[in-house]
Each structure stands twice: as C-alpha cells, then as structure tokens.
Amino acid sequence: MLGFLGSLLAGLMTSVGALPVLFGKTPTQKWRDVSLGFAAGVMLAASFFSLIIPALDVAEIRYGEGPMPALIVCIAILIGMGAVALLNELIPHEHFKTGREGPASASLRRVWLFVIAIAIHNAPEGLAVGVAFGAEGLEGGFPVALGIGLQNAPEGLAVAVALLGEKYTAKRAFIVAALTGLIEPVTGLLGASVIVFAQPLLPWGLAFAAGAMLYVISHEIIPETHRSGHQNHATMGLAVGLVIMLFLDVWLG
C-alpha cells in the first residue's frame, strides 16, 4: 500500500507541474531545459544512492563478499536498461522533437503516441518508488518518492507546454499532462508487490529499477535539454538536482 500511495503522490506531481498552463503562464525554453536538467539530476542521484547502493548492500548480505553482489547488480542494471529500450522499439510512440519511434502506428492519433511515450518514460519511475517502499518501507521509499515527485513537476510542465504548441487548449493540455503521471502508481504497485512476495529478487529489483531510470535519463531527458542551445544551463540544473537529491536521501533516508 505504501508503494502504491507513494508512487501515486509522485505521479500526481506531474499535474502540479502542469498547473501554470491553466493560468496562461508558459515559461521560456531555457527555463524548461533547466527544469528538465534538474529532473535528470534528481533521477541520477536516486538511481545510485537510493537504488544501486542498497542493492549492493542487500546482495552482499545474501551472497557474501566477493564479486557476486557486484555481478548481480551490474546484470540487473543492464536488464533494466534493455527492458526500456525494448519497450521503445516495440511500442509505437512519438516525441515532439524527434518524431515517431517504434513500429508503424498510423491508426493512433498523434497525441496518444505522445502520451504513450511519456508512459514509457514514467513507468520506470513508478517502479523505482514501489521497489524502494517494498524493500525498505517508509524510511527507504520516502526519499525516492520525494525525488521522483520533484522531477515529475518540470516534466508535467514540459508536456503541457508541448501540447500547447500543438494547438491544444490549456485545459486539454493540463488533463493530458496529468494523465501521463498515472502510470506510476500502476508500476509502483507492481514493483512493491514483487519485492514483498519474493525477497530473493530484492537486489535484482532495486538494480533493475535503477537501470530503467538511467536509460530514460540518457535516452530521453538529457538529449531533450541539449537540443535548443541551453545545454550549459541544463547541466547546471542537473548538478543542482543531483546534490539536492543526495542531501535529501542522506537526511531523510
């Protein structure tokens, strides 16, 4: 239940981020890139400090010292990255900047292709929150949920602003942006359930979630922040997001 509620609250932060469009506020492209850079930094810190390091600790307790814990975590990270990459190839979706990806999808409207792209993007985040709660309860899950929620806000804003650029009304853009966050409680519940009922999978699940998020950071967020000439500002945002999440994880975790 904690995994579900935590990932639900994190997903709802997408709606909070999209709120400005209802009031006619559209931030500049530079500010959007800085915000997405911040989101990447938060996800990067969460991947390592809240998922990979705990996965190594759990694997060492279960399998002892030596190469086995590191090998398990490395394999799980690569499997997580590969799983999201496979979703990218098999599911038709669309990015506003780079166009359509995946198989042919003429029967789907463009807005739903974009929604599917965001769902692919958000699924690993909900999974990470659910796995963290399932593994360590409130103490381990809260920092991850907080970090994912913080980075969901600029993502929600980016989605809503992009939809405004496609001639959607402010209300409709907000609704679509809000809906994209609702995949997170679904995968959050899945991740928490698997970990709770299959404890031997704990190090695998933590590292898998981390790998899935790392793929999203590298394949989606960072390239997006570098397309409009604001890469220096975006990198600064990434640095700020990373250190804030590190501080929160150490303080709250």
Q: What is the residue-averaged pLDDT of the chain?
A: 80
> Residue 108 pLDDT more than 50?
no
Mean pLDDT to the nearest integer, 145-169:
77
Q: How many helices (H) and strands (E) does the chain have?
A: 10, 2
Short-list 237, 227, 238, 235, CA closest to 95: 227
pTM higher than 0.85: no
3-state secondary structure 176-228: HHHHHCCHHHHHHHHHHHHHHHCHHHHHHHHHHHHHHHHHHHHHHHHHHHCCC
pLDDT for 53 beyond 80: yes
Question: Who's near 143: CB < 8 A, 6+ residues apart?
Answer: 46, 50, 132, 245, 248, 249, 252, 253
Backbone torsions φ then ψ of 66, nearest 5 degrees: 115, -165
pLDDT band at residue 121 under the 50/70/90 scheme: low
| 160-187 mean pLDDT | 81
What is the identity of the amino acid at 20?
P
Compute the C-alpha angle 132/137/139, nearest 5°.
Answer: 90
Q: Provide the sign of the torsion angle of the four alpha carbons 87, 159, 217, 54, taken in this order.
A: negative
**Per-residue confidence band for 100, with pLDDT thresholds at 50, 70 and 90:** low
Domain segments of the chain as ranges: 2-252
pLDDT band at residue 117 using 50, 70 and 90 as cut-offs: low
Q: How far apart are CA 14 and CA 25, in angstroms?
A: 16
Per-residue model confidence as pLDDT tens digits over 189-203:
888 887 777 777 778
> Tell me, what's the pLDDT at 92?
60
What is residue 164's predicted lDDT score, i.e. its pLDDT?
Answer: 77
Closest by Cα among 206, 192, 223 to 121: 223
Q: pLDDT category, 236, cuts 50, 70, 90?
A: very high
Higher pLDDT: 164 or 103? It is: 164
pLDDT of residue 103: 55
CA trace torsion 26, 31, 33, 38 (10° rounding): -120
